[in-house]
Structure 1
Amino acid sequence: MTLPHCSVASEEVGESLAGTAVESVDRWLLLEVTDPWAPDAIETEALSGQVHARLGRWLKEIPRSRLQLIRRPGHTGRKSKFIVVSCDRGVVSEVEVDRYEDLLGLSIEGMFEQSTPATKPICLVCVHGRRDRCCGQHGSAFFRALQGRGLDVWQTSHLGGHRFAACALWLPEGLMYGRLRPEHADAWVSARANGALGDLTRFRGRCSYDRPTQAAEILLRSRFNEPSDDAVAWVSTTASAADTWEVQFRVSQRTESVRVHLEQTGVSRPASCGKDPEPVTSFVEF
């Protein structure tokens, strides 16, 4: 029996995207690698043992950090870009290296210290088909739809949540989206250009937050129909009971609370293509 694509199964059971983004990450390391990516990106053959070890050390030493491999079709130049992004400060720093081994001579702390404000958005679209076929199919289509829109657009390795493909990350803000299709590109880019988050049903969350806080922000914004990115500011998150959190935000000079609970929905779907179905959980206002 042929199993359905995980993205189809997830959408058919109505799985919510709220609170499914990469969590507690606000420093991103982006390395351009044009060679084929391994299913686990850091194990890619083109990265030597020393480079692999150095990248792993940086991820351990830099709090709240994550590595993404990036590429652009047709770019076969000798140099590769290495970009670091700090979401909390909205800054970016980049260098070009002739060989991946040149990373061994870099001061990663110096790169972060010398970062400057981003001059245009960086958009990463997961196309990691060797990790999951849905990412390869939907991600590649959405990547093509973003061309020529004034963005610094890259294909990227696994962003998590294959079943929500196409998945995209908007930097330097660290906003993650899912179930993006080519027909969504115009509205999505326009919303971001105007400081809005866009369609909240496709917003997975802000990666600097933990998942309960991600979901709480989306639920709060839905309650007040507030799409403006800077209109809501996180204040605190407190676990109040089993799988339940009290989250406070500042909205228009007042404090608003959202109580979220992680519940079993009673339906199942595969987490990725080829896997057996698993129960679906979802954050709800409680």
Structure 2
Amino acid sequence: MPDFRCSLASLDDDEPMAGTAPTDPEILLVECPGPWGRDALDDNRLPDAVRGHLASLDLKVLLLRRYDGSAGPGTRVLHAGATADGFGVRGTVLDRPEDLLDLDVATLPAYDGPLWLVCTNGKRDLCCAELGRPAAGLLAQEWPEGTWETTHLGGHRFASTLLALPSGLTLGRLDTSTALAACQAVARGEVPLEHARGRAGRSGVEQARELHVLSGGDPADEVVAVPGPPRRQSCGDDKVKATTRYEVRAGG
């Protein structure tokens, strides 16, 4: 199926997005301009020693680049750690990528400002490039310093998808007609429910429960994970894989 698009198939099936945000409690973001391969951490323009170091870390690593291809001076590095309300973000600009080898993220100063991380790695999934790059271009006009293209967030089939920091809200099924308004809502402290996948750094059940309550559901209701229908989840991988959905059961 050379013309298959996972995002269209997911939308046609009305696949629910709740509970599909990344669950990683710690994320390292590293500026890396230029092309990325399908496995971006292995196939990029960073020095060999830096690539090996990043691959060895026990946390999620995302590479960043600007929509317009600009870079530097220096290498922007950001660290996000989950908190009760979202994420605490720290950041700095390194003189050279090799400085990552000795970086102590605990010493980084706090980063103040919104970050919009839009998944655009077309080598991994066509939908992320076709839908993500236009969304990133639009957001970059509003937040030129806070908008980045990023590598694999997970959930290609919900493209275009982005991670908003510091809130941790992960949005999906954005396009150039909806991305700006959705992110403006997040910036105001709101949750655009029609595009919300969940709050990153939490389990899928916790994400789905929060969205259920925000949608007017009873906080006493139980939310449980149940098997969803197996499906093809990516344009770049024709394997059919298991999915998970979240079922609400009335509380006592």
TM-score range for the pair, normalised by the shorter chain length: 0.7 to 0.9
Q: 1:211 and 2:204 equivalent?
A: yes
Out of 147, 157, 160, the position equivalent to 1:166 is 160
Q: 1:283 and 2:246 equivalent?
A: yes
Q: Which residue of 1 aligns with 2:62?
A: 68
User: Structure 1's 55 and 7: CA in aligned 2 closer, same or farther, altered over 3 A?
Assistant: same
Question: Aligned AA for 2:8?
Answer: V
Q: Which residue of 2 aligns with 1:246?
A: none
Q: Secondary structure at the match of 1:148?
A: helix
What is the rounded CA distance, in whole Å, between the counterparts of 1:276 and 1:102 in structure 2?
39
Contact 1:69 1:156 in 2 (8 A): yes
Out of 106, 121, 125, the position equivalent to 1:128 is 121
1:15-34 map, 5 Å: 15-23=15-23, 25-34=24-33
Question: Aligned AA for 2:226?
Answer: E
Out of 103, 115, 133, the position equivalent to 2:100 is 103
What is the rounded CA distance, in whole Å, between the counterparts of 1:74 and 1:54 in structure 2?
25
User: Structure 1's 77 and 120: CA in aligned 2 closer, same or farther, altered over 3 A?
Assistant: closer
| Structure 2 gap ranges (5+) | none
Between the two proteins, the alignment pairs up a number of residues equal to: 244
Contact 1:87 1:171 in 2 (8 A): no
Question: Aligned AA for 2:195?
Answer: R
How far residue 33 of structure 1 moved from its aligned partner, in angstroms, is: 0.4
Q: 1:221 and 2:214 equivalent?
A: yes
What is the rounded CA distance, in whole Å, between the counterparts of 1:101 and 1:141 in structure 2?
32
Q: CA RMSD in A?
A: 2.3
1:1-286 map, 5 Å: 1-23=1-23, 25-57=24-56, 59-60=57-58, 65-72=59-66, 73-88=68-83, 90-111=87-108, 115-116=109-110, 118-150=111-143, 152-198=146-192, 200-224=193-217, 256-264=219-227, 269-273=231-235, 274-278=237-241, 280-286=243-249
User: Structure 1's 280 and 96: CA in aligned 2 closer, same or farther, altered over 3 A?
Assistant: closer
Q: Secondary structure at the match of 2:28?
A: strand
Q: Secondary structure at the match of 2:70?
A: coil
How far residue 26 of structure 1 moved from its aligned partner, in angstroms, is: 3.2
Contact 1:124 1:156 in 2 (8 A): yes
What is the rounded CA distance, in whole Å, between the counterparts of 1:122 and 1:189 in structure 2?
10
What is the rounded CA distance, in whole Å, between the counterparts of 2:35 and 2:87 in structure 1?
30
Question: Aligned AA for 1:100?
Answer: P
Calculate the TM-score normalised by the size of structure 2: 0.87
Q: Secondary structure at the match of 2:234?
A: coil
Contact 2:33 2:45 in 1 (8 A): no
Question: Aligned AA for 2:90?
Answer: S
Contact 1:82 1:94 in 2 (8 A): yes
What is the rounded CA distance, in whole Å, between the counterparts of 1:83 and 1:197 in structure 2?
24
Structure with larger Rg: 1
Contact 2:31 2:64 in 1 (8 A): yes
Q: Secondary structure at the match of 1:40?
A: coil
What is the rounded CA distance, in whole Å, between the counterparts of 2:3 and 2:133 in structure 1?
22
Question: Aligned AA for 2:132?
Answer: G
How far residue 278 of structure 1 moved from its aligned partner, in angstroms, is: 4.5
- Of 123-132 and 45-54, deviating more is 45-54
